[in-house]
Chain A
Amino acid sequence: MSVIFGLYGSNHSACASLMIDGEIISCIEEERMTRIKAGYSHNSYPDLAVQKIEEITGIKVKDADYNVFVEPFPVGYAKRLTNNNFEVMSHHESHCYGAYFTSGFQDKCIVLSYDGGGLTSVLRVYLCEDGKMTLIKKGHWADYGSLSHLWGFATASIMGYDFQGESVWRMCKDEGKLMGMAPNGRYDESIYNTLKTCIDYEKGSLQFFPSGTNQRTKFVVDTLFRQDYFVTQEGKEVFSYNLQKLTEDLFLDFLDDLHNLYPEYKKLCFSGGLFGNVKLNQKINELPWVDEIYVLPPMGDEGLALGACIFKANQLGEYIKPKKLKNVFFGTSFTDEEVLEISKSYDVIRRPYVSKEIASLLDEGKIIGWFDGKFEHGPRALGARSILVKPTELSTHKVLNTRLKRHDTMPFAPIVMEDYFDDIFTCPKSKYGAQFMTICFSTKEEWIDMIPAVIQKTDKTARPQVVNKDNLPKLWEILDEYREISGIPVLLNTSFNAHDEPIIENPTHALDHLKNGIIDELVIGNYVYIRK
């Protein structure tokens, strides 16, 4: 039985994870601690994340049985941090181990990671069954194109650069804005074909080409920017539409080829930054031959430390079969007493939490800050650090965007009681994956006008989080109370942070939001806090 630290640093999304005897104990992203979003820090190290895990658990990295760094990794830093007691594993192997062993897929499945690159490659594909993984494809940096590069470099160039030469929109942070704008655009053959010269796919080859997608994309988007193509909102939307369409067209062709080669593999597991694209995930989920998909909730590099722990535990025989995650709450937590102590420096009063009362406030249109237990691992707020609002008013968008200072292209997502999921959305597959808000679904016609605040205005899709009573009892209870009042088993759930901030971590951050009027009331643990 072993104590394993997984570690990732020297790039964006530094993170640390701790696993003991095959159980995930803690996973913390450095951005939550530094309060600087990963997209702003492409040279981050997991110092504060490690410090926090050591503080919570009392277990030091230097005393761990195994410390596993994921490539690319900082050699000198690793030696210092671990007293030279560390090993190294491949970037994409970590992505794939993380995805597969948290999927719960015991039978045949394909596991695939695809991103902007590890030390040597941008893609890996495994055939898996019963805990065994067989590598069948590796896409090397030097001769393989990357769809993640297409998105990252388009994002970094589309709004130009500031006076210091920094991108206005950031790679690894703002890709969702382009994805959010895409449905408002239209097909444009010229843009589509232009993007196709950045990256293409040859049917039957399993090969994206050419390599160097990053700089080819930058060249194209920088040129279009200089030609004032993006001056209008329409230009940005048309570009985004064609970016999304090309991504879907190429990747679905690739999956089609994989399916032709391995037709008996109908479940798919994904990890890597590309699969932050929930619209792409929707298209995959809707393929007729696909039984189920699962995307690792921390699908980007912030999930690499977790993958490293799983990899090592698997090697040691302590984690040999895929299991389902009950939730991804692996961060810090605070007792009611600790919160009370922190709240004394704020001009607030507290009262006991009563779910029915909060449900009524939601129905009245109040914006509720929701802080419950350990924080989520990954980019999505899944009911531990969330802002909850009723989903029935489209005007909510304007209020929330103003208060949170967010870009108006970013849609808001629903949380939905599991029992009602099939009534509201069209595709009944991949509900486990949908517990982590990683897939979009099309909304049934009759629900579109009932929950307009959580539906994408143009294509009528949503990125729901399925909530069931066993996994998230408190969140399920508030949904149920709200359903009793309104008849709607859905709430709007957006991440608890202002624009350009990471999701909040501790009660101070939450109370600051209350003080600044971003939220109307704040639920933390068993109490509700309001401004005096």
Chain B
Amino acid sequence: MYISVNKDLIHYDFNPAAKVKVFGDDLLYLVEMLEYKKNQQSPLMLANYSVRPNGIGLVSEFSVPIQFYYDFEIVVSKLLPEIGIQKIFTHRYNDAGKLVRFNLHTEDVKEAIIWYNRVVQYQKLHMCEIYIDSYFSEVQVLNKSKYKVDGLNFYKTYNIGRFPKASKDFKTRHTSEHGHIRYGYWKSFWSYEHPRDWKNLTSQEIADDILGLS
């Protein structure tokens, strides 16, 4: 998604994790991701750091690799003389009316159907349009998808499956719950794909975890 803010152009993408790039004339831009949690008065800082614009330099993209559902907002700021850090763009995750892709990573047709039903539940809750990718024609038929993948811009992609911990998952040496990931110094989860360890979960619980329906 490209958004133009005065002379700056901001590109954000949530497929499957959040990424932000900025194109503009400033030396640096600050990108922050805030998470809104139930029962919290104010949003919590999940990650923030400076990025170089125009794809130049080592850190020219902001990314938070968490793939499952969470209620977040991205904020882009620049430094203005006399004022300091000034927000130039904010976007809170909201897929209502937008096209969301769901990849069902299972070879079990029964499980694919369970997951499909949870996707439909998600659709009702979020009022989004859905595209489902699966091995099984049963699910494809149920989906009655009118879309073709090529040329489509998905607002968000969810991967639903059982994903082992990957080497890219940051394992902190600090946590007492060894094996869990801590992000933003406070958010604790099992891997970038799963909020909880899927090994003891039912098919429905796995999908609900990933889609934020738990």
Contacts and interface: CB of A to CB of B under 8 A. Distances in A.
Interface string B166-198: 000000011110100000111100000000000
Contacts of B185: 117, 119-120, 141-142
B151 interface: no
B18 to A, nearest CB: 16
B50 A219 contact: yes
A72 interface: yes
A215 B50 contact: yes
A75 B44 contact: no
Interface size class of A (residues with CB under 8 A): 35 or more
Interface residues of B, number: 31
Contacts of A197: 83-86
Given A142-B185, A212-B45, A219 B30 contact: yes
Nearest to A226: B27
Interface stretch (A93-101, A187-195, A345-353, A386-394): A187-195
B49 interface: yes
B82 interface: yes
Nearest to A225: B27
Given A75-B173, A140-B186, A212-B32, A219 B79 contact: yes
A210 B75 CA distance: 13
Interface string A215-231: 11011101110110000
A142 B45 contact: yes
A88 interface: yes
16 contacts: A73-B176, A74-B173, A75-B173, A76-B178, A119-B176, A119-B185, A140-B186, A141-B184, A193-B82, A194-B79, A197-B84, A198-B85, A215-B49, A219-B77, A219-B85, A223-B79
B50 A218 contact: yes
Contacts of A11: 174
A196 B174 contact: no
Contacts of A143: 40, 42-45
Given A193-B83, A211-B44, A218-B50, A141 B186 contact: yes
A72 B174 contact: yes
Given A120-B185, A215-B30, A218-B49, 15 more contacts: A71-B176, A142-B46, A143-B40, A193-B83, A194-B83, A197-B84, A197-B85, A198-B84, A211-B45, A212-B32, A215-B48, A219-B49, A219-B85, A222-B50, A227-B27
Contact of B28 (A71, A76, A119, A226): A226
A28 B147 CA distance: 67
A10 interface: yes
Given A190-B82, A211-B44, A211-B45, A223 B173 contact: no
A88 B184 CA distance: 22
A216 B82 CA distance: 16
Contacts of B178: 75-76
Interface in B22-53: 26-28, 30, 32, 40, 42-46, 48-50
Given A194-B79, A220-B79, A223-B28, A75 B186 contact: no
Interface of B: 26-28, 30, 32, 40, 42-46, 48-50, 77, 79, 81-86, 173-176, 178, 184-187
B185 to A, nearest CB: 4
A140 B40 CA distance: 12
- Top 5 A-B residue pairs of the complex, sorted by shortest distance between their CB atoms: A197-B84, A72-B174, A142-B44, A194-B84, A197-B85
A75 B45 contact: no
Contacts, number: 99
A220 B48 CA distance: 13
B73 to A, nearest CB: 13
Contacts of A72: 174-175
A443 B7 CA distance: 54
A72 B187 CA distance: 15
B45 A210 contact: yes
A219 B26 CA distance: 12
Contact of B48 (A74, A193, A212, A223): A212
Given A141-B186, A142-B185, A220 B27 contact: no
Nearest to B78: A223
A310 B86 CA distance: 45
Contact of B174 (A74, A211, A218): A74
Name which of B28, B46, B178, B184 has the most chain A CB atoms within 10 A of its CB: B28
A75 B85 contact: no
Interface in A403-432: none
Given A143-B45, A223-B27, A10 B84 contact: no
A210 B85 CA distance: 12
Contacts of A227: 27
Contacts of B85: 194, 197-198, 216, 219-220
Nearest to A43: B173
A228 to B, nearest CB: 11
Contacts of B48: 212, 215-216
Contacts of B77: 219
Contacts of A223: 26-28, 50, 79
B183 to A, nearest CB: 10
A196 B84 contact: yes
A88 B176 contact: yes
Interface string A121-153: 000000000000000000011110000000000
B86 to A, nearest CB: 8
A215 B30 CA distance: 8
A10 B184 contact: no
B186 A120 contact: yes
A71 B174 contact: yes
Contacts of A220: 79, 84-85
Contacts of B30: 215-216, 219
Contacts of B174: 10-11, 71-74, 119
B15 to A, nearest CB: 25
Name which of A72, A194, A211, A220 has the most chain B CB atoms within 10 A of its CB: A211
Contacts of B173: 10, 74-76
A388 B155 CA distance: 68
A20 B190 CA distance: 40
Nearest to B80: A194
A89 to B, nearest CB: 11
Contacts of A88: 176
A74 B187 CA distance: 19
A302 to B, nearest CB: 18
A157 B174 CA distance: 25
